Amino acid sequence: MKKEIAVIGLGRFGGSIVMELSEMDVDVLVIDTDEARVNEYQDYYSEGVIGDSTDEAMLKSLGIKNYDNVIVAIGDNIQSSILTTLILKDLGVKKVTTKAQNSYHGRVLEKIGADTVVHPERDMGRRIAHRLVSSSVVEYLEVSNHHSIIEFTSSAKFENKRINDLNMRKKFGISIIAIKRDNDLIVSPDPNISILSGDILILIGSDEQLNHFENYMDKL
């Protein structure tokens, strides 16, 4: 059976999710108060509804409870975003993912039972900041409030050294969880493996430890 996903709010974020889902084998329901938005994306969904997601009876009549995942991508209207999330959880939707406009909005969403809260603007800002500050950081991914994963282009200083010899855990408190080499991904690399030119190291650590490492490497 096809997965059924509902996207509420067709701003840039909700719209791009809908376009991406349309490429996958998924039944997509979209809901937006704005008819023009619903029309704009008509090639990308199976069912489109012009309506207000704070209307509980409307959500019920759409059988929203049976959807595998509902994404609340309402932007500026924080009140509607919170109310919609609350109604969806009350109606028994198993997985509700809601976009937060700021950290207070995010905290409220967590308290009222949103299963996943996403902060796309904040996360993208952080990722870009890391890439700007360190020329070697090619990707940055937050995994908790205090821990992240970075992809780091290995420096000449690392070449032909074994992971063991780099002593990253002891020196910086961070671990190499994988190495991207050509088109391969070496997961949980053996400590005896040597780093080669062009390797991209995937590192995990606390934000503080990773910052310390990035600064140290940039100054070398």
Interface segment toward ligand ATP; rule CB under 6 A; list 51-59, 86-94, 144-152, 211-219: 51-59
Interface segment toward ligand ATP; rule CB under 6 A; list 50-58, 90-98, 160-168, 208-216: 50-58
Interface segment toward ligand ATP; rule CB under 6 A; list 31-39, 85-93, 125-133, 145-153: 31-39
Q: Is 80 among the residues that bind ligand ATP (CB under 6 A)?
A: yes
Q: Which is nearer to ligand ATP, 10 or 168 (CB)?
A: 10
Q: Is 75 among the residues that bind ligand ATP (CB under 6 A)?
A: yes
Inter-residue contact 68 to 5 (CB < 8 Å):
yes
- Binds ligand ATP by CB under 6 A, chosen from 2, 3, 20, 34: 34
Interface segment toward ligand ATP; rule CB under 6 A; list 6-14, 86-94, 150-158, 212-220: 6-14
The total of other beta-carbon atoms located within 10 Å of residue 163's CB is 20
Inter-residue contact 203 to 210 (CB < 8 Å):
yes
Least distance (Å) between residue 34 CB and ligand ATP = 4
What does the chain come to in residues? 220
199-205-208 Cα angle (round to 5) = 115
The tokens for 131 are: 């890439």
Exposure string of 120-143, with b = 16+ CB inside 10 Å and e = fewer, is eeeeeebbeebbeebebbeebeee
Q: Is 9 among the residues that bind ligand ATP (CB under 6 A)?
A: yes
The total of other beta-carbon atoms located within 10 Å of residue 207's CB is 17
Residue 84 amino acid letter? T
Least distance (Å) between residue 93 CB and ligand ATP = 15
Q: Is 53 among the residues that bind ligand ATP (CB under 6 A)?
A: yes
Q: Is 60 among the residues that bind ligand ATP (CB under 6 A)?
A: no
Q: Is 154 among the residues that bind ligand ATP (CB under 6 A)?
A: no
The Cα 57–Cα 45 span in angstroms is: 22
Q: Is 139 among the residues that bind ligand ATP (CB under 6 A)?
A: no
Least distance (Å) between residue 106 CB and ligand ATP = 15
Exposure string of 59-68, with b = 16+ CB inside 10 Å and e = fewer, is beebebeebe
- Binds ligand ATP by CB under 6 A, chosen from 10, 93, 100, 163: 10
